[in-house]
Structure 1
Amino acid sequence: MANGIQNWRFGVYQVDLQNAELRRNGTPLKIREQCFRILVYLLEHAGELVTRDELRRQLWPADTFVDFEHSMNAAMMKLRETLGDSADSPMYIETIPKRGYRFIAPVSHPAASVPSMPESQAPLEDSSANGAAPPSVTMQEAAMQECLWIAVRPFKWSGTDPSLAGYADGATEDILTGLSRFSYLRVVAASSHTGHGKPADGEHPGPRYYLEGSLRQAGPRVRLSAQLVDRETGAHLWAETYDRDFTPQAEFDLLDDIVPQIVSTIADSYGVLPRSMGETLRNADAASLTPYGAVLRCFAYFHRLSAEEHLPVRTALERAVEQSPAYADAWAMLSLIYKEEFTHGFNLGPDPLDRALAAARRAVELAPSNHLAHHALAAAEFFRKEFQRFRLSAARALELNPMDGFTLAYLGLLMAYSGDWKRGGVLCASARRLNPHHPGWYWFVPGVDAYRNGEYRAALEFADRTNMPEHWRTNLLIAASRGRLGDKAAARKALALMLEQRPDFAKSPDEELSIWWQRELAEQFMAGLEKAGFEQ
């Protein structure tokens, strides 16, 4: 072939050109010759647009008489079927309407792309098929050197019903696929015998994190247990048990219920794994971080919103996009960080929303199937008051990754504040269910919704649920609600805390409220604050 490469690896698949084989976790699959040739050509041009005319010239000589459109569509449909891919929500092959196709999953070359590993770690297959623009080999090596991969081991099972074996396999595969939707994770499938201990001196460390689990049956009930282990320290970072009624006919329902909770609790921006990864890099010099490290460093900021945390993250991400201008995740995160200048006033520079929009658009251009890119674009459009565009971008982000509790909650919050309170409330409720360890602000939407409907005591209950007394919008909700209820002492106390946390509010209250809320709701808040003793 043109570039001389004979082997490719993506997700759980490997293509061996010399033997004309497509393998899944090492097992050869049946694939039509035409489909195989299409796949090889797309892999040779991974990340690039391949037009239908290019494929026609490759597959059908000029003197061949064939219904090309029908044959091309049939071959592509069969190839996607073989890979378990979808044209609507692609993990591997993206359709560019009226133009052609693009292979969007990260690709490596087994013979040379990563250092060799000991036999006990050899059965690791890269499964980061998440719609991000393919990182360079250098970035893949950097990620491996940082040891911030997660390996998913096959779930074990025990019980009298042999169908549990299929359920265990299904849980493993669905979790692997779900985690792979998060473009900032590096996910691999691990053999069941891969060890947990620290590597010997000179041995390649391999994935730092392991997810493993088991299924046990007792009568009509099944218990699924899962745990996340830090191989370096031996610490169990997270463990959970799920008890459900079980019948073989309800296998998909069970997996659809449990798997998203496991995936979101581990992988979303407030999940166990990003938090651990972010903390690992929090004290690193911004100038020393790889582009991938800069993305991971953002998660520590999300847990500690402050100007002091914001600046090094912005610095690291600006450096990251200079070093790797095709890295979509870095552009998406940079967009979110620029947006924080506007919403929180952290390290405010000129035209923060213009910069946020430009960075998000660049992320979407680089990786149209990256949910984080569309999340960032939706956020920038919301704060620019482009609500119609915001709703379209938000819908795309949610479609691409419905297991990201952070995306559901944040875009749900913005959806409600844009006027669609019903849809926003449903999204936030779904987010709270996905990740029971969610931050308190996931309760803001029902709290503000109760306030706008005159249910002030309910608003106070939700404010208490946030458990965020240090947040100015929590005290805004308390002060306005207490003011409406005539509890002047408590209202003044909350108002004083709010003004201490957001000192600029007193200078331009209308401007501060209009950042988040539309005029009618902003006026309702001002009326409550005036009853609490606020004077303009």
Structure 2
Amino acid sequence: MRAQLQRLLTHPDFSATPQRCAFLSYVVEEYLAGRGDLIKGVSIAMSVFGRDETFDQQVDPIVRMEARRLRQDIDGYYAGPGRDDPLRLSIPKGGYTPRFERVTPAEQATPAPEALHVKPLAPKRFVFAGLGVVAVAALSALMWGLVVGSSASDRSRPEKMLPQGPVMAVLPFETLGDGPSFFAEGITQQLTSELARFRDLWVLPLGSGQRQAQSGTDLQSLRSEFNAEFALEGSVVDKGDRILLSARLIDLNNQRYIWVNDYSVGSAPKEIYAAQDEIIRDVIGKLAGKYGVLTQNAMRIAARTPPSNRDAYDCVLSYYSYQISIDLARHPTIMNCIQRSLEQSPDYAEAWAVLSNLYLQQIRFGLSGDRQEIIAAAEAASRRAVELDPSLAAGHLMQANARFVRGDIEGFRKAGHVAVGLSPNDGAILAHFGMRLAFSGAWDEGLALVDRAIAFNPVHPHWYHFPRVFYEFDQGNYQRALAVLDQIDMPNFLWTPLWSAALHANLGQMEEAQASLNELLRQQPNFAAQADSILAIWQLGERFEQKLLGSLQLAGLVFEDS
């Protein structure tokens, strides 16, 4: 049992902060000493969090809040790198006593098709906290050699580096005056852990930022020493009855602030801990993910690069740029770019994941190819992504999408929840999974996830709004559905004229319905013949499909058997 505890604590992808690691160590050691029944919130607060005998968990929720986060850390570990561990450690809800369960070894995965047989190499990530200066310096130097590498001899090595995205440092948030230092420390640690969940961000060790801050060195040395492109800094100020937290993102290339936001919370510990998660979600939602501030510039550069000159990371960014509008005329170019990127970097897990979705779009939007062959290729690509990087949320998401297409709703939900557990603040993950949950009949659950994705970042793909159009149509609220549709700027996407035709027809606005139908048939001349198969992939149910097809028929669509 201690060996399993150490396996979690020392694994680089176990994202718990040092305090939560101490929390976990304490409850396990107490359990192994036979004192499991004595593990209470008060004892944890005093032994782990430095509280005294006056601790009142009704006023100070630190143990309850950190226990919830620790359970998420543990779930994320077992969903990814710990999935094959023989012993599973958990802390069941309702208490703090740990549980150990033996796990039956899972069947080995079915080998991928011959074309997918390449040597696996999962990307390495380096996130360290609470290290001494000497240890940090050594580890930072090691990371520099492994991740960035600058010498000519390194560049001439035959081994291929996996594609990487922006490199950033999270600097320790400062406590100004008599503000609560635990708030600044907690925000710093949690931001580092959450940012590290995004596989295309390379987060420097927390200690490297501490070393810079303590030495007073110019931030530009982060760029020269570690090749960092961004630094996230912040401060906490006590304003009496309120605590003001300011977060600021610095572009180290231009030496200027590119994002700043302030947060005001109540000064009571209970209010601070309750607000901390909301602040983390907001910062992560605005900065990280494919549509966050950190990747917007890289996406613009990739868009300006000729397709033949794009590297693997550029191709993946181009895919996410394409996903904003899903202009199907770009699909062949994006597909070709991703396939070429895998020739360059066959171990690039995220490229396999997005390739899976591009395959499914061929049948999702009636493009071309044999349905069963395409689904098999999509499944193989998503499986390859997970084999290469078990902690890649996008890989599990695409496995969920492939199962959804086959109608395996239970398997879809299972893989989707793994994806969300691995990256709970990634809007793209939430939107994909939430949309399909809604379409499968779980409207409330699915739309709640989609609404979270929309709230995370105002710069999100407009297709995030389509599930609400589907829902309002299902409820018979045609005017409300049309109001949502009017907010979607995706003129070259199949669903836009389709829903415009259906909704206007139900509202008796036949001129608008006919014009939208003409546009639908311009984009998809064979839609009437393909309608059943296109709609079937979305698992909407026969009643919904017949209602939608009837609306299109009302708009003037002529089906072959009518």
* TM-score (ref. length: structure 1): 0.71
Match of 1:329 in 2: 350
Match of 2:169 in 1: 151
Whether the 8 Å contact between 1:159 and 1:218 is mirrored in structure 2 is no
Whether the 8 Å contact between 2:174 and 2:234 is mirrored in structure 1 is yes
Q: What CA distance in whole angstroms lies between the structure 2 residues aligned with 1:400 and 1:363? A: 14
Please give the secondary structure, in 2, of the residue aligned with 1:465: coil
Moved more, 106-115 or 227-236: 106-115
Please give the secondary structure, in 2, of the residue aligned with 1:359: helix
- Would the alpha carbon gap of residues 227 and 292 (structure 1) be closer, same or farther in structure 2, given more than 3 Å must change? same
2:436 corresponds to which of 414, 434, 439: 414
- Would the alpha carbon gap of residues 420 and 107 (structure 1) be closer, same or farther in structure 2, given more than 3 Å must change? closer
Q: What CA distance in whole angstroms lies between the structure 2 residues aligned with 1:270 and 1:344? A: 23
Whether the 8 Å contact between 2:190 and 2:280 is mirrored in structure 1 is yes
- Would the alpha carbon gap of residues 287 and 480 (structure 1) be closer, same or farther in structure 2, given more than 3 Å must change? closer
- Would the alpha carbon gap of residues 219 and 436 (structure 1) be closer, same or farther in structure 2, given more than 3 Å must change? farther
Is 1:217 equivalent to 2:247 in the alignment? no
Whether the 8 Å contact between 2:505 and 2:552 is mirrored in structure 1 is yes
Q: What's the C-alpha RMSD, in Å, of the aligned pairs?
A: 4.0
Please give the secondary structure, in 2, of the residue aligned with 1:94: coil
Whether the 8 Å contact between 2:505 and 2:555 is mirrored in structure 1 is yes
1:271 corresponds to which of 292, 302, 318: 292
Deviations 1:271-304, CA, capped at 9 Å, x for gaps:
2223322222234355655544443443333235
Gaps of 5+ in 1: 1-8, 14-22, 33-69, 72-80, 118-135
* Cα offset, 1:104, TM superposition: 7.6
Letter matched to residue 266 of structure 1:
L
- Would the alpha carbon gap of residues 252 and 492 (structure 1) be closer, same or farther in structure 2, given more than 3 Å must change? same
Match of 2:542 in 1: 519
* Cα offset, 1:499, TM superposition: 2.9
Whether the 8 Å contact between 1:412 and 1:428 is mirrored in structure 2 is yes
Letter matched to residue 144 of structure 2:
V
Q: What CA distance in whole angstroms lies between the structure 1 residues aligned with 2:221 and 2:306? A: 26
Whether the 8 Å contact between 2:324 and 2:460 is mirrored in structure 1 is no
Letter matched to residue 190 of structure 2:
D
Moved more, 435-444 or 424-433: 435-444
Match of 1:106 in 2: 124
Deviations 1:65-101, CA, capped at 9 Å, x for gaps:
xxxxx89xxxxxxxxx9xx894422299625143899
Please give the secondary structure, in 1, of the residue aligned with 2:407: coil
Spell out the pairing of 1:68-467 with structure 2 (5 A cutoff).
86-90=73-77, 94-98=82-86, 106=124, 114=144, 138-139=160-161, 143=164, 148-161=166-179, 163=180, 165-188=181-204, 189=206, 190=209, 191-192=212-213, 193=216, 195=218, 206-234=227-255, 236-285=257-306, 288-307=309-328, 309-344=330-365, 351-467=373-489
- Would the alpha carbon gap of residues 155 and 451 (structure 1) be closer, same or farther in structure 2, given more than 3 Å must change? same
Match of 2:557 in 1: 534
Deviations 1:126-172, CA, capped at 9 Å, x for gaps:
xxxxxxxxxx98526x64xxx821222222343543x1x22112112
Letter matched to residue 454 of structure 2:
R
Please give the secondary structure, in 1, of the residue aligned with 2:290: coil
Q: What CA distance in whole angstroms lies between the structure 2 residues aligned with 1:275 and 1:346? A: 29
Q: What CA distance in whole angstroms lies between the structure 2 residues aligned with 1:334 and 1:293? A: 14
Deviations 1:429-455, CA, capped at 9 Å, x for gaps:
222222243332222222211111111
Whether the 8 Å contact between 1:274 and 1:299 is mirrored in structure 2 is no
More helix by share: 2
Q: What CA distance in whole angstroms lies between the structure 2 residues aligned with 1:245 and 1:380? A: 45
Is 1:498 equivalent to 2:514 in the alignment? no
Q: What CA distance in whole angstroms lies between the structure 2 residues aligned with 1:355 and 1:501? A: 26
Q: What CA distance in whole angstroms lies between the structure 1 residues aligned with 2:548 and 2:81? A: 48
Whether the 8 Å contact between 1:405 and 1:434 is mirrored in structure 2 is yes
Spell out the pairing of 1:474-485 with structure 2 (5 A cutoff).
474-485=496-507
Q: Number of matched residues? A: 444
Please give the secondary structure, in 2, of the residue aligned with 1:451: helix
Q: What CA distance in whole angstroms lies between the structure 2 residues aligned with 1:296 and 1:178? A: 21
- Would the alpha carbon gap of residues 401 and 218 (structure 1) be closer, same or farther in structure 2, given more than 3 Å must change? same
Letter matched to residue 431 of structure 2:
A
Letter matched to residue 424 of structure 2:
P
Letter matched to residue 245 of structure 1:
G
Please give the secondary structure, in 2, of the residue aligned with 1:282: helix
* Cα offset, 1:490, TM superposition: 2.6
* Cα offset, 1:215, TM superposition: 2.9
* Cα offset, 1:313, TM superposition: 3.6
Q: What CA distance in whole angstroms lies between the structure 2 residues aligned with 1:472 and 1:116? A: 45
Please give the secondary structure, in 2, of the residue aligned with 1:508: helix
* Cα offset, 1:358, TM superposition: 0.4
Q: What CA distance in whole angstroms lies between the structure 2 residues aligned with 1:347 and 1:232? A: 44
Q: State the identity as a percent.
A: 28
Please give the secondary structure, in 2, of the residue aligned with 1:114: helix
* Cα offset, 1:482, TM superposition: 1.9
- Would the alpha carbon gap of residues 227 and 495 (structure 1) be closer, same or farther in structure 2, given more than 3 Å must change? farther
Q: What CA distance in whole angstroms lies between the structure 1 residues aligned with 2:456 and 2:436? A: 19
Q: What CA distance in whole angstroms lies between the structure 1 residues aligned with 2:354 and 2:379? A: 12
Q: What CA distance in whole angstroms lies between the structure 1 residues aligned with 2:368 and 2:533? A: 18
Q: What CA distance in whole angstroms lies between the structure 2 residues aligned with 1:535 and 1:382? A: 29
Please give the secondary structure, in 2, of the residue aligned with 1:89: helix
* Cα offset, 1:218, TM superposition: 2.5
Whether the 8 Å contact between 1:150 and 1:187 is mirrored in structure 2 is yes
Q: What CA distance in whole angstroms lies between the structure 2 residues aligned with 1:116 and 1:379? A: 34
- Would the alpha carbon gap of residues 116 and 231 (structure 1) be closer, same or farther in structure 2, given more than 3 Å must change? same
Match of 1:125 in 2: none
Whether the 8 Å contact between 2:324 and 2:463 is mirrored in structure 1 is no
Letter matched to residue 523 of structure 1:
Q
Letter matched to residue 473 of structure 1:
W
Letter matched to residue 331 of structure 2:
H
- Would the alpha carbon gap of residues 172 and 454 (structure 1) be closer, same or farther in structure 2, given more than 3 Å must change? same
Q: What CA distance in whole angstroms lies between the structure 2 residues aligned with 1:304 and 1:311? A: 15
* Cα offset, 1:530, TM superposition: 2.2
- Would the alpha carbon gap of residues 498 and 403 (structure 1) be closer, same or farther in structure 2, given more than 3 Å must change? same
Please give the secondary structure, in 1, of the residue aligned with 2:536: helix
* Cα offset, 1:221, TM superposition: 2.3
Letter matched to residue 468 of structure 2:
P
Q: What CA distance in whole angstroms lies between the structure 2 residues aligned with 1:231 and 1:492? A: 53
Please give the secondary structure, in 1, of the residue aligned with 2:551: helix
Letter matched to residue 252 of structure 2:
R
Please give the secondary structure, in 2, of the residue aligned with 1:280: helix
Letter matched to residue 226 of structure 1:
A
* Cα offset, 1:176, TM superposition: 1.1
Whether the 8 Å contact between 1:286 and 1:315 is mirrored in structure 2 is no
* TM-score (ref. length: structure 2): 0.68
Q: What CA distance in whole angstroms lies between the structure 2 residues aligned with 1:116 and 1:182? A: 19
